[in-house]
Structure 1
Amino acid sequence: MDQVFKALADGTRRQLLDRLHEHNGQTLGELCERIAMTRQSVTQHLAVLEDAHLVSTVRRGREKLHYLNPVPLHEMQERWIDKFERPRLRALSDLKRRAEEAMTDKPTFVYVTYIESTPEKVWDALTDADLTAAYWGHSNVSDWRAGSRWEHRRTDGSGIADVVGTVVESERPVRLVTTWAAPEDEGQQDRYSRVTFDIRPHGGIVRLTVTHEDLADEGEAAEAASGWAAVLSNLKSLLETGSPLPEEPWSVPIG
């Protein structure tokens, strides 16, 4: 938390966060356009923001895109705001909404979380049917080979899948890419979105980056934002404590 406060104490760094707040997924050049500062200085400020986990990056070909990471801000809100004003001050929800606006040919939503676990255990938690049932409310079912079909299947015994898709890339335990669609849209390529899980060691813990792109519209992007925040909080709890959260995050009313 000290790194977050240190990062936010500088006006230039707050300006960079504001720029990403307005338009997420920018290159270094785009961020430098309206800041009277050398690229080297901006790079140094971005490094401080990355160290504080306020900014995450994704490579797209030769470009390095910068994204606002709401997790530390959420933690700050829970510690310093919600316990005093719960739940009237919801600045983070607006921050997320604006940060997740649809962008042409760029990932629509990027979420980064840090988990005290191993890459192998995180991979298994994303792909094992029993584990996903424990924290996600659905079983992810597939052989997880590139080109295979996968299903996000209900756990009520009905065998009904609420999401279907294809495994695009599968590199255990570091990278999994899948397409997503409602069962009624299966086969209609323009109706699919795409989810990438990047799993990387980060010191003695794991950095998990979830990129959800090709979403239909701003409404679907907002649903993805709230959905991933809940699912990944539950995943983190399961891996770090052995149990999911005592109440499913998506079942708790907000407001």
Structure 2
Amino acid sequence: MDDDVFFALSHPLRRELLDLLTEKGGRTLGDLESHLPVSRFGVMKHLKVLEAAHLVVSRKAGREKLHFLNAVPIQEVSDRWIARYAVPFVRTMADIKSIAETMEKEKEMTSEIQPKHVYELYIRASAETVWEIITSDAKTPLWQHFNMTSRTDWRVEGEYAWMMGERVAICGKIVEIEPLRRLVLTFSAQWAPDVAADKPSRVVFEIEPLPGKACKLTLVHDDFGGETATSKAVVGGWPESLSRLKTLAETGVPFLLERAV
């Protein structure tokens, strides 16, 4: 998998495609083509390489095919190749760069943008194993961002809370439960005043069983109601959480990150 990711990132046009999808998810082929000095066929060829490395995922919307960045493989490469003691420093440097770039881009963005974050990963574990991890409060700190704990009323309309210590960081309600296949939650961020002011968004977990005791997990986070503080903040947490979930499902051993104080 690392070889596919490194190969996909080796071409400057493919990196530019990822930059475009980082700036705005849900782009059509025509939209991406308009930003690059290559033909429609050339863009399709590069997208095919990125999709093969699972760095880009696509979703049908009527007659159009929308493309989204999937940051999980990059997070997995980071977890493998960056020493744990260096992670806080590297992420801080990346955050500084990201904040500066975001401030510039926000000047050009309109309030009509409807963000949607789509993550897709293939896991060498059964759908039953992945479902059990996602729906087990006891296992939440083994894969969630910041090792959050949780308490959940596991029924439709039941409430849940993901917590950092005794403080609720995220809360919401269960909208749908289809065992082993689909879980839909409302998502209300509470970790800071700016995100707490946003309306609840939506998170959808979908699990597709595959031959050979494997499955595909897709997570869609959308319905933000526009470009909100929450829509910008969650892009940092989901790749790490899903990468840790994959490690736990495949090995049975949690990948616990030590946080800088």
TM-score by length of 2: 0.71
CA distance in 2, matches of 1:71, 1:52: 11
Partner of 1:233: 243
Over 3 Å counting, the alpha-carbon distance change for 1:35 and 1:222 in structure 2 is closer
Matches within 5 A, 1:122-141: 122-132=130-140, 135-136=143-144, 137-141=148-152
Does the alignment pair 1:211 with 2:212?
Answer: no
Letter in 1 for 2:254: P
Over 3 Å counting, the alpha-carbon distance change for 1:92 and 1:54 in structure 2 is farther
Q: Decide whether the 8 Å contact of 1:74 with 1:92 is kept in 2.
A: no
CA distance in 2, matches of 1:224, 1:30: 25
CA distance in 2, matches of 1:237, 1:171: 24
Q: 1:51, CA displacement in angstroms?
A: 0.4
Partner of 1:24: 25
CA distance in 2, matches of 1:177, 1:71: 20
CA distance in 2, matches of 1:201, 1:112: 13
Q: Decide whether the 8 Å contact of 1:169 with 1:175 is kept in 2.
A: yes
Partner of 1:194: 202
Q: Looking at both structures, which has the greater relative contact order when contacts are Cα pairs under 8 Å and sequence separation is at least 6?
A: 2
CA distance in 2, matches of 1:177, 1:14: 32
Gaps of 5+ in 2: 191-195
Q: 1:182, CA displacement in angstroms?
A: 5.8
Matches within 5 A, 1:55-70: 55-70=56-71
CA distance in 2, matches of 1:55, 1:218: 23
TM-score by length of 1: 0.73
Partner of 1:220: 230
Partner of 1:165: 172
Matches within 5 A, 1:9-158: 9-77=10-78, 82-83=82-83, 86=86, 90=91, 93=95, 104-107=113-116, 109-132=117-140, 135-136=143-144, 137-145=148-156, 148-152=157-161
Gaps of 5+ in 1: none
SS of residue in 1 equivalent to 2:20? helix
Q: State which drifts further: 62-71 or 188-197.
A: 188-197
Q: Decide whether the 8 Å contact of 2:25 with 2:115 is kept in 1.
A: no
Q: 1:193, CA displacement in angstroms?
A: 1.2
Q: 1:236, CA displacement in angstroms?
A: 2.4
Deviation track 1:50-98 (CA, whole Å, cap 9, x = no partner) reads 0012212234444332122223333444556x35x94555576578777
SS of residue in 2 equivalent to 1:35? coil
Deviation track 1:97-140 (CA, whole Å, cap 9, x = no partner) reads 77998972231x33333322112221221123333355444235
CA distance in 2, matches of 1:175, 1:89: 35
Q: Decide whether the 8 Å contact of 2:114 with 2:227 is kept in 1.
A: no
Q: Decide whether the 8 Å contact of 1:96 with 1:225 is kept in 2.
A: no
SS of residue in 2 equivalent to 1:181? strand
Deviation track 1:181-235 (CA, whole Å, cap 9, x = no partner) reads 268xxxx997211111122245643332222221786543354233323433332
Between the two proteins, the alignment pairs up a number of residues equal to 241
Over 3 Å counting, the alpha-carbon distance change for 1:149 and 1:233 in structure 2 is same
